[in-house]
Amino acid sequence: MARVAVTGVIPIQQERATGRAATPAAVPVLACRDLVKAYGDRTAVAGVSFEVFPGQAFGLLGPNGAGKTSTIKMICGLLDPDRGEALIGGKRVAKSAEARRLLGYVPHEIALYPDLSARENLEFWGRLYGLRGKRLTQRVDYALEVVDLVERGDDRVGEFSSGMQRRCNLAVALLGEPRLLVLDEPTVGVDPQSRGAILERLEELRASGVAILLASHYIDEVERFCNSVGIIDHGKLVVHGRPADLIASLGGAQRLEVEATGNVGALIQTAFGMPGVHQARLIDGSVRLSVDNAAATLPALVEAAHALGIELSSIDIGTANLEAVFLHLTGRTMRD
């Protein structure tokens, strides 16, 4: 698929000059500069650069294999870059214990011991942070309170729901008073209510000045929570900016979605030739189009479906969103 330039989007590194940073702080908490990582002949990350400021939530979106995980591992000091650097608090993560102390990392996997209670888990990880005595107790109490697990603190983690385990996973990252939280799919596999609870806690942390880097497959989650977004594909940061700017860059495009039975491939091919159609894809059994004017395109689409012997069972029209931007730029969905 040919790459389409996105206009009207201000790169993160220019935000200070334009006054668009989340706070007036002059120094970013996280600065990624030309990060490159290759595995043999395959380049997983190809020159990724962005910054995250205090009180800013930066969402990192990309399909499977796009380079998100490798980028996160280099930021956290778990993987050495082949070129470039990741700085936290102005210091290189790979070279500075001080920089790593400013970081709280929430991995995709649950990093807890199921046979220990939530409090025992936090005390164990707190000691690895170097916390002892009264200070350890204070930080454990604080972390349990933030994630709303005080009343379950003495219960075994193995008895927790997946949402409670995710919240406890987040609590571990809060023990060391991080200035930067890096979260890799922190709400995957949890129910909507638990997702909402986790995002509420993260919103409170962001409002207190903590910088947050969120990698997620849930585009609606990123659109709701993050005030800056980067889309990574084939190891490159395709675009980054505020969600509203990225959506506006589509020029007012609309979403037209139909559920169809029959030769949907032929319908998609036909739709591509219609005026005002920017993209057409089969997603979760539905034909989804990005169009200039859904009301104008719909009659032609219905006529094409009838000519092809395709039955349409439902029609939905909506405004463009961050998912439309993602599809427009990468030609793929988050599940590809």
In tens digits, what is the pLDDT along the chain, a chain of 336 residues? 333 333 333 333 334 333 344 444 468 999 999 999 999 999 999 999 999 999 999 999 888 788 999 999 999 999 999 999 999 999 998 888 889 899 999 998 999 999 999 999 999 999 998 999 999 999 999 999 999 999 999 999 999 999 999 999 999 999 998 999 999 988 888 888 888 888 898 999 999 999 999 998 788 888 889 999 999 989 999 888 888 788 777 666 777 889 888 898 999 999 988 998 877 888 767 888 888 888 889 999 999 999 999 999 889 887 767 776 777 676 655 444
Q: State pTM to two decimals.
A: 0.75
Surface-to-core class of residue 196, CB atoms within 10 Å of its CB (0-12 exposed, 13-18 middle, 19+ buried):
middle
Q: Is residue 23 a contact partner of residue 55, using CB atoms and an 8 Å limit?
A: yes
**Identity (one letter) of the amino acid at 160?**
F
Total length of the chain = 336
User: Quick one: pLDDT at residue 333?
Assistant: 53
Q: Is residue 254 a contact partner of residue 320, using CB atoms and an 8 Å limit?
A: yes
Residue 161 CB neighbours (<10 A): 11
Domains in the chain with CATH codes: 12-247 (3.40.50.300), 253-319 (3.30.70.100)
The CA R_g of the chain, rounded to the nearest whole Å, is: 22
Read off the tokens for 180. 């930067």
**Torsion on CA atoms 18, 20, 22, 24, rounded to nearest 10:** 30
- Report the candidate in 249, 280, 288 with the shortest Cα–Cα distance to residue 4: 249
Residue 179 CB neighbours (<10 A): 18
